Amino acid sequence: MILLNLPADLTPQAYDDVVRGGRKVDLSAEALARVADSRALFLRHLETGVVCYGVNTGLGALAGQDLGAAEMAAMPRHVLLARAVASGPAYPASIGRGALLIRLAQFLKGYSAVTPELCRFMAARLNDGLSPVIPSQGHGMAGEIIPLSHVGQVLVGEGLVHGDGGAPIPAADWFRARGLSPYAPQPKEGLALINGVAAASAMAHDVVGALNRTLALATLTAAATLEGLGASQESWGADVARLRPDAGLAQAAAGLRHWLDGSGVQRGDRQPPVSLRVVPQVHGMAQAALDALAKAVVDEWRTVSDNPVFLPDPGSPVFGALVHSGNFHCAELTARTEAMALAIAQVAQLSERRLHRVLDARFTGLSPQLASKPGLDAGLVALHKAALGLGAQVRSLSVPPSLMHGETSFGQEDMMTMALPALDRLTTLDRLTHRMLCYELYTALVALDQRQAQGGGAPGPALATVHRDIRAHIPAYGGDRPFGPEVGRLAGLVDAIVPDAPPPGGPLGQRHAAPAPPDHETLPERGSP
């Protein structure tokens, strides 16, 4: 059981244990008392006649509309309904479930003015396996009012949840099947449920895990290509890394050398192409961007992002203060997402260049296009053409969604992060890059086969083990055949084959706690279950 007292207790490991592992959540007595004390002071603050946005007023452009007692009582449920406007395929179940857990942890600070009953209800439903459905299309908003409306409304028996088989079912049916009653939200609780940043940070946590696996694959693949080319590895040395103090560079170079340790491949004495020499710099930059994104995710989990936020003060004659805040605007998380998108796109472009080099007999000294019988066989040149198609998709995603915002609510909400569209783009770029690396790795291993057959030496034990494991599923090239299905099979294998343990020198390639998808045979749209 995970005991939550403050959002700081929600570590990435604890998050994964609850969201994916089914571990139970318990709330500390201290946290519940803090929430109860804040709620009591908030109600006394309301009694002073203060205007509270979204409690005794309308929302957005309708904030100038005052509400009577009956409307105040109805408002929390209304808040959760009309804003649930996203459509299309559902995001993975981990996103809705993660957002629910994150928002619960944020409530425990006591600044959201919710009741302890709501916190207990959220924890109990997480323990029951509740996974709200968040549709993946239509997330233009200030803050996260759209995705969090889809999360919050299931607590009151509206909307959809992921059923036991994964298919969406009505939340009302989910409650009915378990003999449970939906929650009846109190004033400000509807607003609190749609405030803040929880869906974006849940999505970002998932993509951090996927990117960890992709960067681990990129490290392995670059090393395989260098061995296939028989190229010098001096530009990957520790001495070179020390000359440039980029964050991640030394770590990336150490990860690359891990795959080359003990290599017996005979190498050329001329410098290799730039696409080989700058691998530590590009991969190091990507690792640094990923580290920054991972930190921004955890920082977001621990942020108080309500609007208005209630600052309780038992010594004040009005018992506290309501402060209008822009903390729902996750500028840092979005900026780190966009930086990571550029970084992984550079990794993809570098992979395509290396793939072209390993097909070129001028650089390898091997058969042209790695063809078994040049002229009769085309060899593997079409794999590069496939990578070019994927690279075109990568380049087509070059415009940052965070710059593509507008204004809504007649000017009341005139700035937004577009965090979810930015994360959608990053997820797509990650999948494209993963597939491009698989095309390169397939080709590099064929080059390595030829080099060994010609007496050019064998790779070191780490790379040789991966090579052997792949060949157990995908036979060596011996002439033209349909390669597409085999590349797809390779894509489904590599996450299991790349070692879990980080190589010496740092955590480059460290595996995320979430299990890898079992197969990358297709490139599904972001948000498919």
- The per-residue DSSP string of 15-36 comes to HHHHHTT---EEE-HHHHHHHH
Neighbours of 262 (CB within 10 A): 12
pLDDT at 521 over 80: no
| CATH, domain range 2-195 | 1.10.275.10
pTM for the model: 0.89
Name which of 203-212, 414-423, 474-483, 494-503 the model is least confident about. Answer: 494-503
Alpha helices in 20-143 (DSSP H): 29-47, 69-79, 93-107, 116-127
pLDDT of residue 499: 65
> Is the predicted pLDDT of residue 526 greater than 70, yes or no?
no
CA distance 104 to 8: 12
The CATH 1.20.200.10 portion of the chain extends over 204-304+329-404+417-497
Mean pLDDT (whole number) for 429-451: 97
Q: Is the pLDDT of residue 63 over 70?
A: no
pLDDT the model gives residue 328? 76
Which helix (DSSP H) or strand (DSSP E) does residue 136 occupy? strand 135-137
The secondary element (H helix, E strand) that includes residue 495 is: helix 484-497
Task: Name the fold adopted by 204-304+329-404+417-497.
Answer: Fumarase C; Chain A, domain 2 (1.20.200)
Residue 414 confidence (pLDDT) above 70:
no
**What confidence score (pLDDT) does residue 411 get?**
56
Average pLDDT, the chain: 88
Which pLDDT band holds residue 61 (cuts at 50, 70, 90)?
Answer: low
> Collapsing DSSP states into helix, strand and coil, what is residue 383?
helix
Name 205's Cβ contacts closer than 8 Å, sequence gap at least 6.
Answer: 12, 15, 98, 297
**Tens digits of residue pLDDT in 458-500:** 999 999 999 999 999 999 999 999 999 999 999 999 988 886 4
What residues pair up with 90 in beta bridges, in sequence order?
135
Residue ranges, comma separated, of all CATH 1.10.275.10 domains in the chain are: 2-195
One-letter identity of residue 446: V
- Does position 54 have pLDDT exceeding 80, yes or no? no
Specify which residues 529 forms β-bridges with. none
